Structure 1
Amino acid sequence: MTARYPFSAVVGHEDLRLGLLLNAVHPGIGGVLVRGEKGTAKSTIVRGLAALLPALDAVRDCRFACDPHRPDPGCPDGPHEAGASTTTKPSSLVELPVGATEDRLVGSLDLERALTEGVRAYQPGLLAAAHRGVLYVDEVNLLHDHLVDLLLDAAAMGRAHVERDGVSVSHASSFLLVGTMNPEEGELRPQLLDRFGLTVQVNASRDVATRTEVVRRRLAYEADPVGFAQQWEKADAELAESIVAARAALPGIALPDTELRRIAAVCAAFEVDGMRADLVVARTAIAHAAWRGGDAVTEADVEVAVRLALPHRRRRDPFDEPGLDSEQLEQALRDAAEQAEAPEPPDDDGPGGGGGAPRGEGRQQKQERPEQPEQGSGGGEQPPAKPAQQFRPRLLQVPGLGEGAPGRRSRSRSSSGRVVRSSTVDGHGVHLTATVQAAAPHQHTRGRSGSGLELRSGDLRRAVREGREGNLVLFAVDASGSMAARARMSAVTGAVLSLLRDAYQRRDKVGLITFRGREAEVALPPTSSVDAAATRLRGLRTGGRTPLAHGLLAARKLLAAERLRDPRRRPLLVLVTDGRATVPASQRGDALHDAMRAAALLEADGVASVVVDCENGVVRLGLPDRLAIALGGTCLQLAELSAENVAGVVRAARAA
């Protein structure tokens, strides 16, 4: 077995190293999320952590690594009596692959024993193996939603529950959750993001000397892994001893009321949701005090904890940039110092009254920009319109049944959804009940003896499951002069941003095409990073004529290429337009006729489409309805997109 790259040999990444070590000292912090570009040693340093963790005492032959001093009373391998035989084992590092199945994660019925011995026996999964150790998820942002839900439940409760295939089991599953992700491949669901205690951003150093040392050490490791590990064995051993010492000191660390008030003031100043942030900051500060050898939490410990625990909790929206501005943080800490020394909070201040800097800057950002006069439909481009208020949009779905790209939008066949029926030809996994029912009538004629079943290949039944899939949602946005009234474009941009947020939550890929002037432009190729689409949309400039046919043909070309790249992900085209098609005078032909022909080609390709009608004014030509018919899709008014009250958006659209 190749020696792991030593934890101590990693160059730089001080925040990441500290975050992992503090979690090793105090597992109650809640784990670490490592964000960063590819090739920054995220996985290497996480795997190196396991070698530093102290060995565990466990009940012998217990598959769930029960602590002999405090055994789990509900352990499936129990009950464990006092004085039971024990063993020592290294702390586990369990890696959860992105493509893991539900059975592999939580465990399942032991089919071999069920079918041969006729007993219901539980086969533990990765959550059992990770108990009292580290559960590592590489590319955690790409993890299937059903696995995320199971992971959230276990991380929150410290137990895993299995209710399936006639098995009902509950076992302890307390682990240090570590995830790595590349933000370019898509963001993490807010529910899982908040479960990580700390978050660290890692980037490759731009310093030549640092980069040189990284390459030098990596090449030395690849040439002689064992010899390289031995060179850093002493440094790793010292870190391991420090972890043990800090763990022993942890119960004696004092958290003065002054520092507790400082923590509350900073969290209130940054308006983080809930109370989890306060608890995580407090635990991290205590762990940091123990790590540095102190006996009480100080202001420096709180500052370190805030820098690690708050960046991902400030995000009010999936399109907000993560992180803490250093100047805002310093100002918040200064303001918090005043509240920390005060015996009682001011009666006339609401929550977060001491955090003036972040809130003040937020208020300045909300100031309205002065409106600029509208330019004509054939004139030059206009500056970007400020998006109107966003809302919760209605669910747009692709009709029919897909093949199951993981997500939460349209119906699909999947390997993880609910079982809807059994089949002899298709499905995922064994439908145990149907298999037993098929075999049961033939046991006498097959000469069965004993408790096992006599099975034949014809008895096998598969489970047909149905779940939800993510789609490729391609936005084609008319940015021409006919759509360029600022109030109307503001409403349109707000609506599309609402749909983008919905796509983020449903795990869709998104793309963005804009068309104006002489041609269409792929503003954003299909990606899982919808915040990039939001950035492009907010900078959308308008004006010029309406090359509607160009926009539809560009959408068709892009979808054809994406179909070859990702055939399981069905597309949904969202066309946002008022339907008016114009081209420059130098081009001949009927612009609207060309647009209808392009729409018919998309319909022939089987592309599901939704036309968002942005037509306004007293005289309405009904062109979006005609486009929807040609596309074989549906047409929605801008107001119909909202599942809530969007009267303000509608008024803005109609006022133009």
Structure 2
Amino acid sequence: MEETPVPPYPLTAVVGMDDLVLSLLLSSVAPDIGGVLVRGEKGTAKSTAVRALANLLPSVDVISGCRFGCDPHSPDQDCPDQPHGHEHHARPARLVELPVGATEDRLLGSLDLDRALSAGVRAYEPGLLAAAHRGILYVDEVNLLHDHLVDVLLDAAAMGRVHIERESISITHASRFVLVGTMNPEEGELRPQLLDRFGLTVEVRASRDPDTRAEVVRRRLAFDADPERFVKDWQEAERELAARITSARAHLPAVELPDGVLRQIAAVCAAFDVDGMRADLVVARTARAHAAWSGRTRVTSDDVRVAAMFALPHRRRRDPFDAPGMDENLLDEALRDNLPDDPEPPEIDPDGGPAGGPEGGPDGGPGGQSPTDGQDNPEGTADTAGSGAAPPDSGPEAAAEGQAPAGPSSQEQSRPGRKPQDDQDDQDPNTETPRAPAPAQDPVSATAPFKVRSFKLPGLGKGAAGRRSRALTTSGRTVATRPLDAGSASRQDGSGRVHLPATLTAAAARQHARGREPGGPVLLRRDDIRLGVREGREGNLILFCVDASGSMAAKKRMAAVKGAVLSLLLDAYQRRDRVGLITFRGADAELALPPTGAVEAARMRLDRLPTGGRTPLSAGLRRAWAVIGNERLRDPHRRPLLVLVTDGRHTSGEDPARIAVEFARQGVRSVVVDCERGPVKLGLAGKLAAGLGGELVTLDDLRAESLAGMVRSQVSDRTERRIA
């Protein structure tokens, strides 16, 4: 007996996530906004709200028998299922989920091998992008999506079409969808190219109000106890919200965007220094959608404010270390300084409230009231969505308030009475006289990041797709083919989908012996099948081991060291690596950040890094060895790269040379960043790099421009010698 599927949680029953609900509704009213990116901590109803949205969308009219969902009133002239018939029917709007581990074939579609090999027909099997046409494409954990899938999504979202050229098939079809993604920033940031494709972004976090949290738990327990009864209780509220979406869609073409308001939008976008013109377009479309949602026929400054709060925060970020969010004071100032010449007063409905007020939807009804007791939602949206004002304690700007503060200011670092930690501990490594532990100095701010040299691991790896070292992956260019055998399915050796030309070539010479009749289907055997071996790039584990002892602070080097590590972190983010941070000072080493994809978290740990005390270099290496060992058990295919940032001195613990030999023996790739400066250098970091079997670079050598300068210098010298 099959179990009855559990119905989705009603959107109108979601408590305290007003910005999230409003952004989803606005994207439903105007799909050309470009979708929504939902950023937030785990357990904040991100996926619940997105999945609940599908039940509220109006049905779409499609041509019967068309696998690509063509509109009978405006069919796609290049649809692969042409010619179309005259019959059509209505179907519910689709919510198509893209799994993080999906293949490119699953997303784009692929050749129907069964029909191709049995009937000799080139048949195309549509993928998820075809299924999502005129609906919603939902990507949970979108920041963990493989780069090659991100590239496909970028093309489809930009062009509204999908082009497939593979295995002698050339297909193009329409694919216009609302892209909705959810992500937890702790697990890593999103590539800027895909981030900009999302029209709106919203930051969500759990409410700290006990009444709101209690209401969330109360409703969820009621849903889990009897889902059908719970959904039935909210059915009327859901019906009203669905009707309001349909009404707002029909009302949208009549909404006027005055030229004065349009100039205000342009001025606000310019004031926030956003890149390109996409922000202006998204703010204009969102403002019109909000006006239609509120029942107005004319866009006002309140609509522009709501639109800017959703459309601009993620477009202001210049790198992954910039905190998301909006300065509301700056936004209000930009709006006031660029008021339209003839501002329209808000329209009033006959009942005395704003048009499109609390009747239905998150403006006060379904999302904020219980259908049984009529009590107000503790954080209802009656005073936010309909009025055009953002909630005071939620939304994109709220996340910025939770960011850890940066390092102290220069005044704090140079306040009277402070003296730099001297270097006496490092000058007498053999003394046995017990000393009081040196006090830790306040953290210093890092210097500005710069573009760094590219460090790659030698050979071919088998790790997760990334952008650093060469690897055999399931994506990338085909470099060879291999026979299908019993063990290939369990090995990550770069063998991907079936390579049809190589398979048919292997089978061609055996067709006569197998008795194939002229014009008949190709006769295949298992030993004919060939898999494509693909070479691409992998992401690595970049483990930073940073010396934070007194010698680093005494010579005022920590600011430069932090700047160098910050630059390497930015490079790791761009190459899709996992990063970890170990610091050593005093008597021990600390794992400041376990390996993660969230380089922003590493930046925060780096900002708060104190310095001072002795130099337990061996303890740092021991901790790095343990972390690498644990990560190998967790992900044996992700190769590590140890980045040791030190001047090479050690004044506490065993001789680090004996530990370094183990790294070299196990083949752990390492880079030693020599922080020693001054006219007299001991060269201890160079000896350590030799023991590790790694590469030695100075802080200055890390810069990519210094490497380019060296190459140009060598080329110039050779040219001059040839001329001479």
TM-score over 0.5 for the alignment? yes
2:434 is matched with none
Residue 552 and residue 29 in structure 1: after superposition, are their counterparts in 2 closer, same or farther (change >3 A)? same
Root-mean-square deviation (CA), in Å?
A: 2.2
1:299 Cα deviation from its structure 2 partner: 0.9
Percent identity over the alignment is 63
User: Which one of the candidate residues 407, 410, 433 is aligned to 2:469?
Assistant: 410
| AA at the equivalent of 2:596 | T
User: Which one of the candidate residues 565, 569, 572 is aligned to 2:634?
Assistant: 565
1:328 Cα deviation from its structure 2 partner: 3.2
User: Which one of the candidate residues 388, 392, 396 is aligned to 2:455?
Assistant: 396
1:608 is matched with 669
Give deviations 1:614-639, integer Å, cap 9, x for gaps. Answer: 22222233222221221121112222
1:335 Cα deviation from its structure 2 partner: 3.0
1:175 is matched with 177
1:429 is matched with 497
Q: Give distance in 2, aligned partners of 1:52 and 1:421.
A: 49
1:647 Cα deviation from its structure 2 partner: 12
Answer whether contact 2:35 2:178 (CA < 8 A) is retained: yes
* Number of equivalences: 615
The aligned runs of 1:506-521 (5 Å cut-off) are 506-521=575-590
Length-normalised TM-score, structure 1: 0.90
1:231 Cα deviation from its structure 2 partner: 1.7
Q: Give distance in 1, aligned partners of 2:708 and 2:154.
A: 37
Q: Give distance in 2, aligned partners of 1:186 and 1:328.
A: 28
| AA at the equivalent of 1:286 | R
| AA at the equivalent of 1:621 | L
2:544 is matched with 475
Give deviations 1:102-136, integer Å, cap 9, x for gaps. Answer: 10001111111111122222111000000000000
| AA at the equivalent of 2:261 | E
Gaps of 5+ in 1: 342-364, 649-656
User: Which one of the candidate residues 589, 595, 600 is aligned to 1:531?
Assistant: 600
The aligned runs of 1:58-69 (5 Å cut-off) are 58-69=62-73
Answer whether contact 2:287 2:307 (CA < 8 A) is retained: yes
| AA at the equivalent of 2:536 | G
Q: Give distance in 2, aligned partners of 1:514 and 1:646.
A: 28
Q: Give distance in 1, aligned partners of 2:160 and 2:179.
A: 11
Answering whether residue 25 of structure 2 is matched by residue 21 of structure 1, we say yes
Q: Give distance in 2, aligned partners of 1:11 and 1:389.
A: 42
Q: Give distance in 1, aligned partners of 2:265 and 2:113.
A: 52
Q: Give distance in 2, aligned partners of 1:166 and 1:3.
A: 43
Answering whether residue 705 of structure 2 is matched by residue 644 of structure 1, we say yes
Length-normalised TM-score, structure 2: 0.82
Answer whether contact 2:407 2:443 (CA < 8 A) is retained: no
1:351 is matched with none
The aligned runs of 1:32-181 (5 Å cut-off) are 32-80=36-84, 84-181=86-183
Q: Give distance in 2, aligned partners of 1:381 and 1:209.
A: 43
| AA at the equivalent of 1:515 | F
Q: Give distance in 2, aligned partners of 1:212 and 1:313.
A: 35
Q: Give distance in 2, aligned partners of 1:407 and 1:227.
A: 47
1:368 Cα deviation from its structure 2 partner: 7.7
Answering whether residue 524 of structure 2 is matched by residue 455 of structure 1, we say yes
1:338 Cα deviation from its structure 2 partner: 8.3
Q: Aligned with 1:573: secondary structure?
A: strand
User: Which one of the candidate residues 289, 306, 309 is aligned to 2:308?
Assistant: 306
Q: Aligned with 1:100: secondary structure?
A: coil
| AA at the equivalent of 1:493 | K
| AA at the equivalent of 1:534 | R
1:20 Cα deviation from its structure 2 partner: 0.6
Answering whether residue 561 of structure 2 is matched by residue 501 of structure 1, we say no
| AA at the equivalent of 1:514 | T
Answering whether residue 626 of structure 2 is matched by residue 622 of structure 1, we say no
Q: Give distance in 2, aligned partners of 1:268 and 1:294.
A: 27
Q: Aligned with 1:482: secondary structure?
A: helix
Q: Give distance in 2, aligned partners of 1:498 and 1:181.
A: 24
1:377 is matched with 423
Residue 496 and residue 288 in structure 1: after superposition, are their counterparts in 2 closer, same or farther (change >3 A)? same
User: Which one of the candidate residues 595, 612, 617 is aligned to 1:543?
Assistant: 612
Q: Give distance in 2, aligned partners of 1:88 and 1:111.
A: 31
Answer whether contact 1:391 1:646 (CA < 8 A) is retained: no
Gaps of 5+ in 2: 344-405, 425-437, 489-494, 710-724
1:53 Cα deviation from its structure 2 partner: 0.8
1:552 Cα deviation from its structure 2 partner: 0.8
1:595 Cα deviation from its structure 2 partner: 0.9
1:173 Cα deviation from its structure 2 partner: 0.4
Q: Give distance in 2, aligned partners of 1:5 and 1:545.
A: 57
1:248 Cα deviation from its structure 2 partner: 1.2
Answer whether contact 2:407 2:444 (CA < 8 A) is retained: no
Q: Give distance in 1, aligned partners of 2:708 and 2:103.
A: 44
Q: Give distance in 1, aligned partners of 2:586 and 2:340.
A: 57
1:485 Cα deviation from its structure 2 partner: 4.5
The aligned runs of 1:209-228 (5 Å cut-off) are 209-228=211-230
